[in-house]
A and B are shown apart, each in its own frame.
Chain A
């Protein structure tokens, strides 16, 4: 049950991490990571030794989510320069019709 609970709460932590990093700059993100750690520890019961793994994993997943989304953003902004390109060729992957 502990592994199952961990997986669920880590998934939740990851989602919240991605959401927060999407909104806040990194410094505020890490500040909010600390906040989430404290809240998780309080909420899931820091006193009980068995449950201590839960807030630790939640905060780890939260941080991973935040760092991951920042990395993806940076990657997106590193697209190659296109000055002087006037022709492209490629394969049609999708067609989107706009609603009237």
Chain B
């Protein structure tokens, strides 16, 4: 399977016929602007082949995307439509995309679609690099922060509807699962959804819960379903390590930045950013040869804008059914998106915003060994000097 072309996109087909290939998946490259909604039943005349194992992208596509075959030089015909839950969710996603396309210009439109719908394909590469330099690339993917904010807002709404805890958990699981399907189930979003459901289930059941316990069990469950994410999915690796860093070192960084004011969550945000970066920087240096130094400053401003941006964007489609309500939602949304892009460009273009250095595999592993040893020593020191909670995220 050759490197992608900017004029193409890839559709994944769940094979129905021939019967020998039933339950296998097949990938077809089509033109970027050809429309094949999820649920469309296609018949493709083509050379069916295994993905080309001599290409570097083979392993990633075959194992991670779960694709067994590819269809080359396809002549495609639509033969019907199969209604499904997945298709209904794709229709909802299409409505949001159509509204944002109509009401917003780029780059605000592509930023919002990446943030909310996980459609990162149209996001300009130059701006993506600026977000990476500023340490705010997690904003343009569906990350744990998105899911956490979504869970908080949804829980507030469900509590206000006076639902029982069991019903709240059921509705929350259904809504989060729908959203996960809508955004294409990236590993970071799946990880944070499973963790959020586990946290809430433990809270409702009156059981104690600890960050590292849930994180490890969630990671084990995800790897059980799809083992290849462990070695091939950079999003899973970064997301898992960021959460582990927060669970293990947040208290330490909060003490280090004890001199910062707590107003507007300044201390918490800076400590959280440092905690997340504690275990991700070696991997970042290995994969991208760059580590953001400006992340704490950029996140300080951007995180405060994320919650209202998410809330407004989610109510945009329901608001479109009320005459005259769309501008009331879209204009504040536009200004917040503009502010996020402007702040990221300012911080990301500052001299020294990103430290450029690469790590080889041995130096990366050595860095992790040193970090783990440091964390173990820190925990032992803390345990010997205080009788506080053993688990940092236990409430």
* A contacts, CB < 8 Å to B: 4, 7-8, 10-12, 14-15, 18-19, 22-23, 65, 68-69, 72, 76, 79-80, 82, 85-100
- CB of B377, distance to nearest CB on chain A (Å): 14
Q: How many CB-defined contacts (below 8 Å) exist between A and B?
A: 152
Stretch at the interface among B31-39, B251-259, B308-316, B346-354: B31-39
Contacts of A85 in B (CB 8 A): 18, 21, 48
Contacts of A87 in B (CB 8 A): 43-46
Q: Are A79 and B14 in contact (CB under 8 A)?
A: no
State the CA gap A23–B230 with chains docked (Å).
11
Instruction: Assess A92 versus B38: contact at CB under 8 Å? Given A76-B63, A82-B48.
Output: yes
B:32-64 near A, CB below 8 Å: 32, 36-50, 62-63
Please report the total number of B residues contacting A with Cβ < 8 Å.
65
- CB of B240, distance to nearest CB on chain A (Å): 9
- CB of B186, distance to nearest CB on chain A (Å): 12
State the CA gap A84–B125 with chains docked (Å).
41
* B contacts, CB < 8 Å to A: 4-6, 8-18, 20-21, 24-26, 32, 36-50, 62-63, 68-69, 71, 79, 82, 84, 86, 119-125, 128, 184, 212-213, 216-217, 219-220, 223-224, 227-228, 230-231
Q: Are B11 and A95 in contact (CB under 8 A)?
A: yes
State the CA gap A9–B250 with chains docked (Å).
21
- Contact partner, B213, options A8, A68, A93, Cβ 8 Å: A8
- Contact partner, B230, options A7, A18, A80, Cβ 8 Å: A18
Closest 4 CB pairs of A and B: A97-B121, A11-B220, A98-B4, A11-B216
Contacts of B46 in A (CB 8 A): 86-88
26 pairs from A and B in contact (CB 8 Å cutoff): A15-B219, A18-B227, A22-B228, A22-B231, A68-B224, A79-B69, A80-B20, A80-B24, A85-B18, A86-B47, A87-B44, A87-B45, A88-B18, A88-B43, A88-B46, A88-B48, A89-B79, A90-B26, A91-B16, A91-B39, A93-B14, A94-B12, A96-B121, A97-B9, A97-B121, A100-B122
